[in-house]
Chain A
Amino acid sequence: MTAVEKLSLPSRRPWPGPARLVAGLPRLLGTHAFRLAALYFAVFAASVLGVLLFVYWTSAGFVERQTEATLDAEITGLAEQYAQRGLSGLVQIVAARSAGDRGDNMLYLVTDPGGRPLAGNIAGWPAGVPARAGSLSFTIEAKSQGQTEPHPARGSLFIIPGGYRLLVGRDISDGAAFRNLVKTTLLWAGLLALALGSLGGAAMSRNLLRRVEEVNRTSERVMAGNLSDRVPLKGTSDEFDQLAANLNRMLEQIERLMTAMREVTDNVAHDLKTPLSRLRTRLELALIAPADDAARSEAIRGAIDEADRLLATFNALLSIAEAESGARRSQAAPLDLAELAGAAAELYQPVAEDSGFAVSLETQAGIGIRGDRHLLSQAFANLLDNALKYAGGGPIEIRVLRRGGRAVLEVADHGPGIPEGDREVVFDRFVRLEPSRTTPGNGLGLSLVRAVAKLHDGAVELADNHPGLRVSLSFPETAT
Chain B
Amino acid sequence: MKILIVEDDRETAAYLAKGLTESGYTVDRAGDGREGFFLASSGSYDAIVLDRMLPNMDGLTLLGGLRAAAIQTPALILSALGSVDDRVRGLRAGSDDYLVKPFAFSELLARLEALLRRGATPPAVTRLRVADLELDLLTRTVRRGDKSIELLPREFQLLEHLMRNAGHVVTRTMLLEHVWDYHFDPQTNVIDVHVSRLRQKIDKGFDHPLLHTVRGAGYCLRAPG
Q: Which A residues have a C-beta under 8 Å from some C-beta of B?
A: 301, 304, 307, 311-312, 315, 318-319, 322, 327-328, 330-331, 343, 346-348, 350-351, 354, 372, 374, 377-378, 381-382, 384-385, 388-389, 440-442, 445
Looking at B84, B182, B187, B194, which has the most chain A CB atoms within 10 Å of its CB?
B187
Query: In this complex, what residue of A is CB-closest to B197?
Result: A350
Query: In this complex, what residue of A is CB-closest to B87?
Result: A374
**Chain A binding surface, main DSSP class:** helix
Please determine whether B186 and A385 come into contact, CB atoms closer than 8 angstroms.
yes
Query: In this complex, what residue of B is CB-closest to A319?
Result: B184
Please determine whether A350 and B190 come into contact, CB atoms closer than 8 angstroms.
yes
**Chain B binding surface, main DSSP class:** loop
Instruction: Other than A301-B216, A312-B185, give 18 A-B pairs with Cβ distance below 8 A.
Output: A315-B184, A327-B83, A328-B84, A328-B85, A330-B85, A343-B180, A347-B180, A348-B186, A348-B190, A350-B193, A351-B192, A351-B193, A374-B184, A377-B184, A385-B188, A389-B188, A441-B187, A445-B187
How far apart are B188's CB and chain A's nearest CB, in angstroms? 5
Please determine whether A348 and B85 come into contact, CB atoms closer than 8 angstroms.
no
Decide yes or no whether B183 CB sits under 8 A from chain A.
yes
Decide yes or no whether B19 CB sits under 8 A from chain A.
no
For B180, what are the chain A residues with a Cβ–Cβ distance below 8 Å? 343, 347
For B194, what are the chain A residues with a Cβ–Cβ distance below 8 Å? 347, 350
A-B pair count, CB < 8 Å, reads 65
Interface size class of B (residues with CB under 8 A): 20 to 34
Query: In this complex, what residue of A is CB-closest to B195?
Result: A350
CB-defined interface of B200-222 with A at 8 Å, one 1/0 digit per residue?
Answer: 00000000000000001000000
For B189, what are the chain A residues with a Cβ–Cβ distance below 8 Å? 351
Q: Which B residues have a C-beta under 8 Å from some C-beta of A?
A: 82-85, 102, 154, 180, 182-190, 192-194, 197, 216
Please determine whether A328 and B83 come into contact, CB atoms closer than 8 angstroms.
yes
Bound together, the chains give a CA A305 to CA B82 distance in angstroms of 21
Of all A-B residue pairs in the complex, the 4 with the closest CB atoms, nearest first, are A350-B193, A351-B193, A385-B187, A378-B184
Please determine whether A347 and B83 come into contact, CB atoms closer than 8 angstroms.
no
Please determine whether A377 and B190 come into contact, CB atoms closer than 8 angstroms.
no
**Complex A-B: 7 CB contacts under 8 Å:** A315-B185, A327-B83, A351-B188, A374-B182, A381-B186, A384-B188, A388-B188
Please determine whether A347 and B182 come into contact, CB atoms closer than 8 angstroms.
yes
Bound together, the chains give a CA A351 to CA B195 distance in angstroms of 11
For B188, what are the chain A residues with a Cβ–Cβ distance below 8 Å? 348, 351, 384-385, 388-389
Bound together, the chains give a CA A327 to CA B192 distance in angstroms of 33
Please determine whether B182 and A315 come into contact, CB atoms closer than 8 angstroms.
no
Query: In this complex, what residue of B is CB-closest to A321?
Result: B83
Bound together, the chains give a CA A173 to CA B192 distance in angstroms of 121
How far apart are B105's CB and chain A's nearest CB, in angstroms? 11
How far apart are A276's CB and chain B's nearest CB, in angstroms? 14
Please determine whether B84 and A304 come into contact, CB atoms closer than 8 angstroms.
no
Of B82, B154, B190, B193, which is within 8 A of A315 by CB? B82
For A381, what are the chain B residues with a Cβ–Cβ distance below 8 Å? 182, 184, 186
